Chain A
Amino acid sequence: MEYAVETFSLTKIFSDWWGRDKVYAVDDLNLQVHYNEVFGLLGPNGSGKTTTLKLLLGLLYPTKGRSAVLGGDGADPKISARIGFLPEESYLYRYLNARETLDFYGRLFGLPAKVRKMRIEALLDMVGLKAVANRPVGTFSKGMARRIGLAQALINDPELLILDEPTTGLDPIGTRQIKDLILELAKRGKTVLLCSHLLADVEDVCDRISILYGGKVQAEGQVRDLLLRSNKVQITTDAISDNTIERIKQLIKDEHADYEVTSPMDKLETFFIKTVEDAQQQALTTSGAVSTTGISDFLAAEAAQENILDKLVSTPVSRQTPTQPPVTESADRRIETSEPKPDEQLLRKLSKPAQPKPVARDKKVKTQPVKPKAPKPEQVRKSILDQLTGRSTPQNEDENSDSK
């Protein structure tokens, strides 16, 4: 039980019809994923990432070697009850609507009707599909189907989340949300194993990565260690006078080091998100998914007492991408300024005695105090209703710890 996921010389050979070995999809793979870690499995197309996940989940049988998931067999119902899995495409029943889809998966877990209903509504809220919850999934766009796929992976509040290309088909906002979600889940003590070839996604969220090629591990380690250029230093400041810059240049010259002065560029992702949010604030309608923030409360764990504001202002140092601090900053700003839907945790705050606003721990982040828009009355009622009825035992604990 030392590792959440461990493989021992895992090998999968695909043979042809005559039984001759054709392809080594996974070749003598030894992986170790720690508990409470975001682990990325990287590799070009056809490098054996998905095959590895399928072997872990018992969808394929290994030719040689074995694997242990949460200390057992991934196909064992006792183990799979603690796993959430999102396959490379969201394979959903086209004829069910979003709510029925989640209900079906909830029933497979044997969740009681009350818990199921509460979680479904919370998840629909979280993935921003509440408005289209009664539409058949077959009419959804790829990204919307992806969101439902993600929601079904979370319905059992899994300890281990296995995500295969979680961001394919998602718009940049959705991508950002999934990345935020993965970070938040990790903060709540979950283990996440994700595989992707979108390097930006992996870089933003993963603690450790492994790069596969030809079914073999080519490189493995902490993202920070692998990417940190320890012979360079980057300083980012607010706009300062030319005079000061000259003085700094002089200081650097004294050290006999090379330097470069530029204004940091926003990533296109950041710019895109900002534009869409402006549109949302003007209340333009869309038939697609609504972008929301926050995370469903039932996805509980030890760190759940953290307030959403904490999350906004404190990107943990360990997870911060060392090379691009400005990005992290503006991404955080997005979350504050755009509140297209009232956030559940904020609502909870409203219905409770005021809490001291947490102090921003990271000095370089320039945050404005949050001014939440007044939530619509029926949504407030619904949220309170949720608190009164829906919350089963783990949620109650959260709330108690919240009000402490």
Chain B
Amino acid sequence: MHSIWAVATNTIKQALRMKIAAVFIILLIVLLPVMGVSMTGDGTLKGRLQTFVSYGLSLTNLLLCLLTIIVSIYTLTNDIEQKQIYTVITKPIRRYQLLLGKLLGVILLSAALLALFSAIIYTITIYTPKLFDADEADLIQVDNEFFTARAVLTPPEVDVTQEVLDTYEKLEKGGQLPPDVPRSKIMAELTRRKQLEKRAAVVGQWLVWEFNNVKVLDPNETLFIRYKYDVSINPPDLQVYSRWLVGDDRQIRYGTTPETPIYEFDRKNLIRTFHEIEVPADAVAEDSYLAVAFLNDPQRNETTVIFPPDGLEVLYKADTFTANFIRAVLLILFRLIFLASLSLLASTFLSFPVAILLSLCILFTAAFSGFCLESFDYLGENLSWVYFYTVRPIILLLPQFDKFSPAKFLVPARLLSWPLLAKAAGLMVCIKALLLLLLALLIFSFREIAKIII
């Protein structure tokens, strides 16, 4: 252990004194406060906070990812190229201890810097409302919609299997099926259309979503309906007029005595951006049931309104902003641990520039893994099994950084629950990083350290 620790502290000294870390530290220390003042978002206090947290964390994340990659690769390849490793490895230290020491040093350095910069971001965020003399309404809005951590409920996907089968049979009987298309493809297309139908409202039509698991802790709190529209034809002012009913709709349907209130809202919203409706939490029925109804206003709208698949959610307060922020920062730490293991693996058998190139490629693929998978899936129809058994598993092996992006949780004040965090830790650190590290230990233990010099 003492030798691992000696190597770790030496690695930290190396990163600091060779001024690799200095570039990143200075950049962040200058940029973060500047961003705090200059970023205004959409002009509201909430917009300002969201923009700052989103960009601040993304920048910190990107720079620390780069720093981690560069430091881990530099520390090992430099030792090998400059041959300091000759004097180190001939001391009573096992090779795995050397590698673990380097890893520990890199992780400690990254974690310390991450703690420093997220503390700066946190402080600036907390003090922004005071700094800009926000008015009362703004403060209440950010308290409810930003400085909180809200659990998210999405409506379950409607089961359309039976309808699709019916339609298929009808088409088959009518002889309207295209002759040279396989059944599975037709079914898939029909399913897609049916589901789209369920999410679309023509002028004057109601859409109803039912939620069965709205566990609001305190009925005096508020909950939020968060939504986004797509339209079939763009309205001239890009606005959609709507009427919303939120509450226990069984009271209307079955005519029982009203026990919980039903709230009604009229809204005029820009299309293709998220909006929120604040609803008192007492609208939720005793059995955690809540219905949300939407009316495509027949008087003022002339277009069909479509909700995208993630276009409607119910949010309610489940934790504090601080706790959520800390978990979001931990998410970045997991990334850094993964990258440190990856970079050390690369540097056990590659030279500095090649290892950097490889690690950066993997970083960016992981950062856009969702996009990569989607685009390859699209191509995959033509590439068939070659793609399916080669590229796809490799991309799936990479951690999905975009799926676990901290801004994705903090900007909409969405709860990043401990189980989700544990899942990210399990996937990124316990499985993927560990595998890489084991491979690195294996390669490093068996390779010849000395260069071929005769």
Contact of B91 with A95 in the complex, beta carbons under 8 Å = no
Known: A14-B452, A48-B454, A61-B448. A92 touches B84 (CB 8 A): yes
Known: A60-B448, A95-B18, A108-B3. A87 touches B10 (CB 8 A): no
**A110 partner residues in chain B, CB cutoff 8 A:** 2-3, 92
Contact of A105 with B91 in the complex, beta carbons under 8 Å = yes
Contact of B86 with A95 in the complex, beta carbons under 8 Å = no
Whole-angstrom distance between the alpha carbons of A51 and B91 in the complex?
18
Whole-angstrom distance between the alpha carbons of A156 and B10 in the complex?
19
Select which of B13, B83, B93, B450 is within 8 A of A95 by beta carbon. Answer: B13
Whole-angstrom distance between the alpha carbons of A14 and B453 in the complex?
9
**A46 partner residues in chain B, CB cutoff 8 A:** 454
Whole-angstrom distance between the alpha carbons of A84 and B17 in the complex?
28
- Number of B interface residues in the complex (CB < 8 A): 29
| In the complex, A78 has a CB within 8 A of chain B | yes
Contact of B453 with A89 in the complex, beta carbons under 8 Å = no
| In the complex, B88 has a CB within 8 A of chain A | yes
Contact of B83 with A25 in the complex, beta carbons under 8 Å = no
Contact of A91 with B454 in the complex, beta carbons under 8 Å = no
| In the complex, A98 has a CB within 8 A of chain B | no
| In the complex, B408 has a CB within 8 A of chain A | no
Select which of A50, A51, A57, A95 is within 8 A of B90 by beta carbon. Answer: A57
A113 CB to nearest B CB, Å: 11
Contact of B92 with A54 in the complex, beta carbons under 8 Å = no
| In the complex, B87 has a CB within 8 A of chain A | yes
Contact of B10 with A83 in the complex, beta carbons under 8 Å = no
| In the complex, A93 has a CB within 8 A of chain B | yes
| In the complex, B23 has a CB within 8 A of chain A | no
| In the complex, A3 has a CB within 8 A of chain B | no
| In the complex, B390 has a CB within 8 A of chain A | no
| In the complex, B14 has a CB within 8 A of chain A | yes
| In the complex, A77 has a CB within 8 A of chain B | yes
Tell me the nearest residue of chain A to B94, going by C-beta: A77
* Contact code string B78-89 (vs A, CB < 8 Å = 1, else 0): 000011111111
Contact of A77 with B93 in the complex, beta carbons under 8 Å = yes
Contact of B17 with A95 in the complex, beta carbons under 8 Å = yes
Which residues of A are interface residues toward B (Cβ below 8 A)?
14, 23, 25, 46, 48, 50-51, 54, 57-61, 74-75, 77-78, 80-81, 83, 85, 87, 89, 91-93, 95-96, 100, 104-105, 107-110, 149, 152, 156
Minimum-distance CB pairs A-B, first 10 = A77-B92, A107-B6, A95-B17, A59-B450, A81-B92, A108-B91, A91-B83, A110-B2, A85-B90, A87-B86
Q: Beyond the given A75-B89, A93-B14, could you list 16 further A-B residue pairs with CB under 8 A, ordered by the A residue number?
A: A48-B454, A58-B90, A59-B450, A60-B449, A61-B448, A78-B92, A81-B91, A83-B90, A87-B83, A104-B10, A107-B6, A108-B6, A109-B91, A110-B3, A152-B87, A156-B91
